[in-house]
Structure 1
Amino acid sequence: MIEYSLFKIVHQHTKSCLSLILMLICSIPAFAQLTCSDKDHTTIVQILRTAETKNWRELPDGESLTKIGKAFIPTPYVANTLEQGMKEDSLIINVSGMDCTTFVEQVLALGMTIKKNDPSFEKFGQSLECIRYRGGNKEGYFSRLHYFTDWIDDNEHKSLIENISRTLSPEQLPIDLNFMSTHRSAYKALADNDSLWHMTQQLEKEINQRDHYFLPKDQIREQASQIKNGDIIALVTNIKGLDVSHVGFAYWQGTELHFLHASLKKGVMITEETLSDYLGKMKSNRGIIVARPVY
């Protein structure tokens, strides 16, 4: 059973105290080792400078996130960017090619960094580490948040997002996670490490026991007005052993809700059709989980 006692205690205090404690958790110590190309470093610094020049810091969180996300159009989709044999203690930064999760993580980390005084590449790295790893601490492969429902739960405990799915629908989401443990050969870290594999099995069982809620896809059009620009949208799947198959951001075009995401075929893009119509074509999709950035 994963303990969140520290965060339960923190939540009893004021939001200002929480922000101070969270800042300490997420930035001390600074990331020890980094994997990032010069090109990616330059891209991140340029986005931070643009945000500073155009004063994105003063925008609502979701509005700044959509501006950041659009800045990456049409970055190509690259699968498994965190599963390519990198050292476990290295923080991987790659904005030249992203999968859907690393797109969301890196956009969110940039959004957090822009809100800080004197935003910098180092602070971006600290924010990304905080988002990507359980409790904000990078301690090897197992500390990374692999399942997205776990990602949402952990980042909500860190008060970086708020899962608003239950306010949109009372529909509970029963899940039976086992994909990683039953496909261990697909994950280099699990293939020859029995200890890590058993830990993964236990984690899957623990996540399965939590309460989860989602908005069924036939209710999205009705509830769309409750979803804001920049809300994180996780696509719930009926694929055996998984919880979520794809993630991105809510994006409003006029009066229609669309989807800003790293597409498998087209890279980072905004869907031409509405989010509801986009999901309507997916037989494996059940609906969405909606998480709102609140940092």
Structure 2
Amino acid sequence: MRTAFSVALALAMVACDSAREGEARPAAPPESGAIASPAADPATASLDTIPGTNWTERDWAVLEQKVRWAAGRGLDTVPMGTAVAELGRTFVGATYTPGTLEAPGDEHLVINLRELDCVTFIENVWALNRFLRSEGVSGLADPAAARSAYEAHLRAIRYRDGVLAGYPSRLHYFSDWLTNHEDRGHLRLITASLGGVGDAEPIDFMSTHPDAYRQLADPAFLQAIREREAYLNGRGPRIYLPQPAIAAVEGDIRDGDLIAATSTVGGLDIAHTGIALHVDGRLHLLHAPLVGRDVEISELPLADRIAGISGQDGIMVARLTEGD
């Protein structure tokens, strides 16, 4: 996957790796509530846009359908991890599209529930569950207010401290995404308790590859990224679980835990992300893999999958808290 194309689109945060060669594409689970998620056709993309918003009618239909499905199954009453895993399964078959956040113009909140990458998949599943628990089905009665509420949930997830203040405020590095949410009380990093070890390699991929990011042509943005990298490096070693140790602790990882596959690329922290899901007694990955594929449940158990990918060497694991 380490092509110029993938670098330009995603390597700093959404470096969603290609699925292992030959992996099957599982079907959506029965009664999953999945709906068609066609890729946007440039010739018709504007035809279903809701005027004055960043939404399309198709995105609104996905939100409404998913919230009603989740409410009907009581996902607002179960642990957050369980809800994330169950609602995440309904996206199996949805289109993987890289670079959906790299929209033209100034940084703005991108709404796209039809096309997902490995990070926006997690963000939208979590945001949908937050909407379910705070607004619920009754909140759908006022579509404009519902869209505004969903935007607030997604903004709180995607941007540092929930504040959209230009390109550097987006949580580009996924280890930054994780630690920022831990600092805010939204999740708990549990890698250390699983036997994780320290990785002191500096994070600097974005600042050392500025040509891969059009926004970094702005010297102020590039400086802000350098400062954030320095902050992350100053926090000390990141704790990760090496690939050979994953299988032994599968039972301690719960469905709905967030999985970040660590990268072997210099300066890059995370290569891929997904949601933990046990299948037939083994830990698998519910995720959105690289171009040409769909959201899927990995055919191989997570430990075996990572062993077969040279660009990954372990995982970080996070558990969402009940409050958010």
Task: Identify the TM-score tier after normalising by the shorter chain.
Answer: 0.7 to 0.9
Structure 2 residue aligned with 1:279 = 306
1:185 aligns with 2:211: yes
Deviates more, 1:205-214 or 1:220-229: 205-214
Aligned counterpart, 1:28: none
Look up the match of 1:84.
103
Q: Which residue of the partner structure matches residue 13 of structure 2?
A: none
Offset at 1:145?
0.4
Q: Percent identity?
A: 33
Q: 1:196 aligns with which of 213, 221, 224?
A: 221
Q: Is residue 2:119 matched to residue 1:94?
A: no
Counterpart amino acid of 2:152? Q
SS in 1 for 2:277: strand
**1:142-181 matched pairs, under 5 angstroms:** 142-181=168-207
Is the CA contact (8 Å cut-off) linking 1:45 and 1:121 kept in structure 2? no
Mark the CA change 1:84 to 1:96 in structure 2 (over 3 Å): closer, same or farther: same
Deviation at 1:149, TM superposition (A): 0.6
TM-superposed deviation, 1:34: 4.8
TM-score normalised by structure 2 residue count: 0.77
The equivalent residue for 1:251 is 277
* Count of residue correspondences: 261
**Structure 1: gaps spanning 5 or more residues:** 1-32
Contact 2:261–2:273 under 8 Å retained in 1: yes
1:50-87, Cα deviation, whole Å (9 max, x unpaired): 11222111121111111211111111111111113243
Structure 2, gaps ≥5 residues long: 1-51, 140-145
Tell me what 1:26 maps to: none
Shift in Å at residue 239 of structure 1? 0.4
Which amino acid in the other structure matches residue 81 of structure 2? G
Q: What RMSD over aligned residues (CA atoms) do the two structures have, in Å?
A: 1.5
Offset at 1:268?
A: 0.3
Q: TM-score, structure 1 length as denominator?
A: 0.85
Of structures 1 and 2, the one scoring higher in RCO (CA 8 A, sep 6+) is 2
Corresponding position of 1:113: 131
Q: Deviations over 1:187-240 (max 9, x none)?
A: 12112x111111111111111121320111100001111100000000001101
Q: CA deviation at 1:124?
A: 2.1
Q: Secondary structure at the match of 1:172?
A: strand
Indicate how the Cα distance of structure 1 residues 60 and 172 shifts in structure 2: closer, same or farther if over 3 A, else same: same
1:83, 1:188 within 8 Å by CA — same for their partners in 2? no
2:293 equivalent among 255, 266, 286: 266
Is contact 1:34-1:92 (8 Å) kept? no
2:254 maps to what in 1? 228
Q: CA deviation at 1:282?
A: 1.0
* In structure 2, distance between residues paired with 1:34 and 1:164: 38
